[in-house]
Amino acid sequence: MTMRKKIVAGNWKMNTLPAEGVELAKGVAAGRKDVCDCVTLIVCPPFTHLSSVIEALKGSNVEVGAQDCATETKGAYTGEVAAQMIAALGCKYVILGHSERRQYYGETSATLNKKMAEAYANNLTPIYCVGENLDEREAERHFDVVKAQIEEVVFNLTEEQFRNLVIAYEPVWAIGTGKTATAEQAQEIHAYIREVLRSKFGAAAEECPILYGGSCKPSNAGEIFAKADVDGGLIGGAALKAEDFLAIGKAF
Ligand code: PGA
């Protein structure tokens, strides 16, 4: 038996106005007691309400993460938000390489290497996302795609950094589509990801939490989380309702 951390993280994406975000966070905090302490619960609101959500969650045992950070440390980069700014607010985590960032904002492995470095320099734990799109899955290239996304970024980490990493496997065809990967499909690729990690980091790969993401909801989370190499979920749509998010937290 490994002692891998169990994690359920909510990716709110570009949803909720500030007051709604605070309400949602309070709802999660109110139900936290019904979710095992052995599960780390994380909410990732938009930048604009990080501060107020952190305030609302003080003492609640619910962690807060950002959805992205800049490639640079500080300076003339209009519109960007630096990792050190996020960390200064009390955030512990940052999602990096989400497929929406890769797809709509052109993030490449080169971009993500810089963001990862900024995250670690500021003691943020990256939740690094990988996953293939539908064409790649249909062409049975999903293993190669995910392997490349890991080799090009995660393999550049030191072992110490790797020990402070969370990976999220999110097949693009399952994100926001209502079409979930089966528990078997998730397990198959999670086990593969762990094997790739083992080839570089050895036994430390056993400790790395690998989350599943893509239309995860209360009705399917239990089956998916029961798989040996699935250590929790990165939740989009279902994280926007405290009740659903908490139900997923209870699904282990
Ligand atoms: P979804 O999103 O749960 O709405 O499919 C997951 C994600 O993109 O992190």
Contact assessment for residue 211 and residue 167, using Cβ atoms and an 8 Å cutoff: yes
* Spatial distance between the Cα atoms of 12 and 33, rounded to a whole number of angstroms: 22
**Nearest Cα to Cα of residue 80 among 113, 115, 55:** 115
243 is catalytic: no
Q: Is 211 in the pocket of ligand 1 (CB under 6 A)?
A: no
Distances (CA, A) of 59 to 30, 63, 91, 104: 11, 10, 14, 36
The count of structural domains within the chain is 1
Give 150-197 pLDDT, tens digit per residue: 999 999 999 999 999 999 999 999 988 888 889 999 999 999 999 999
Residue 1 lies in a domain: no
Q: Mean of the pLDDT values across residues 59-68? A: 98
Q: Is 90 exceeded by the pLDDT of residue 2?
A: no
Range of the domain at 172: 6-249
Query: Is the CB of 234 within 6 Å of ligand 1?
Result: yes
Tell me, yes or no, whether 236 lies in a domain: yes
Let me know if residue 123 belongs to a domain.
yes
List 130's β-bridge partners, or say none. 169
- Which domain CATH number covers 190? 3.20.20.70
Q: Are 205 and 216 in contact (CB under 8 A)?
A: no
Centre of ligand 1 to C-alpha 180, Å, is 10
Q: For ligand 1, is residue 95 a contact (CB within 6 Å)?
A: no
> Is residue 1's pLDDT more than 90?
no
